[in-house]
Copies of this chain bind each other. A is one copy, B any other.
């Protein structure tokens, strides 16, 4: 079924203990779409600057992404530079240039508005609400956010959260949003704010799904090589929403399957810089690791 994402497309400079790369493709919508498009056609809403290569947009299109919602605005593309500590426990942002992202207002081509699955990547909650208001076909709506909006835009964010069917948060955001220290209690408190389903992302330590009264856990896929986690969360969201959109239904079984596909997709991102691990990714390779993850957690 039709899947729409709104988020960022960016240039990143990234340094980890395994190397440094400059001006590589980044942004939540990039990672999301590269992963989700293995499962279902993706409609992308984002903004790039005049410096963004047309070939990259063509690459997205060749992978089954409709890029008609990617506006090319005067100025430069969003730029982020960051560095990970040797053990990857902390990430330091060294520079952020919002550039064209500063004045971004999502512009949805009319044919995008009937999507059945919508992912609101981490942008200002006002913009997330605008996109939500533009939808015409009662989609399944999932959203991401960040600590900044919890601090500066809490009322707007709460309005948004009340309209989400699913939200993804990390440990810190869950605690900050609810004031609950115990993560199980924080997850349950977020469900009471609106979303029937909450995904608590723990990076290398996996992801926890709250759905109604049930809990489900997907550990990170065990990797012998790990280079750069940038974009892993957005890739997870892409694999997750792609799997749901392919299944076309949201229930306990499809959500668990989506958790595993999200996890598996993210593993390919972590093995390389940028979206390089997703470029030649096939459904066959995703299915191979999916089977591996089932065995990895199967107590018989």
Interface positions of A (Cβ within 8 A of B): 17, 181-182, 184-185, 202, 205-206, 208, 214-219, 222-226, 253, 256-257, 259-260, 293-300
Which residue from chain B places its CB closest to the CB of A225 in the assembled complex?
B182
User: Nearest Cβ distance between residue A289 and chain B, in whole angstroms?
Assistant: 12
| A294: contacting residue among B185, B206, B299, CB under 8 A | B299
Interface of A is mostly: mixed
Give the residue of B219, B224, B257 whose beta carbon is less than 8 angstroms from that of A217.
Answer: B219
Task: Decide if B257 touches A215 in the complex (CB within 8 Å).
Answer: no
Do residues B222 and A299 form an inter-chain contact, with CB atoms below 8 A? no
Is A215 in contact with B182, judged by CB distance below 8 angstroms? no
Residues of chain B lying within 8 A (CB to CB) of residue A260: 299
Q: Which residue of B lies closest to A254 (CB)?
A: B300
Residue from the list B184, B224, B299 in contact with A297, Cβ < 8 A: B299
Q: How many copies does the complex hold?
A: 2
Nearest B residue to A259, CB-CB: B299
> Which B residue sits closest to A210, measured CB to CB?
B222
CA distance A297 to B209 in the complex (A): 11
Contact A296–B217 (Cβ < 8 Å)? yes
Which residue of B215, B223, B295 is within 8 Å of A296 (Cβ)?
B215
Partner of A205, one of B17, B205, B297: B205
What are 19 A-B contacts with C-beta separation under 8 Å?
Answer: A17-B181, A184-B223, A184-B224, A185-B224, A202-B205, A205-B206, A206-B219, A208-B222, A215-B222, A217-B296, A217-B297, A219-B219, A253-B300, A256-B298, A256-B299, A256-B300, A257-B299, A259-B299, A294-B299
- A217 to B223, alpha carbons, bound, how many Å? 13
The answer, among B222, B293, B298, for a CB contact under 8 Å with A184, is B222
Q: How far is the CA of A176 from the CA of B182 in the complex (A)?
A: 32
Contacts of A224 in B (CB 8 A): 182, 184-185
**CA A257 to CA B299, docked complex, whole Å:** 6
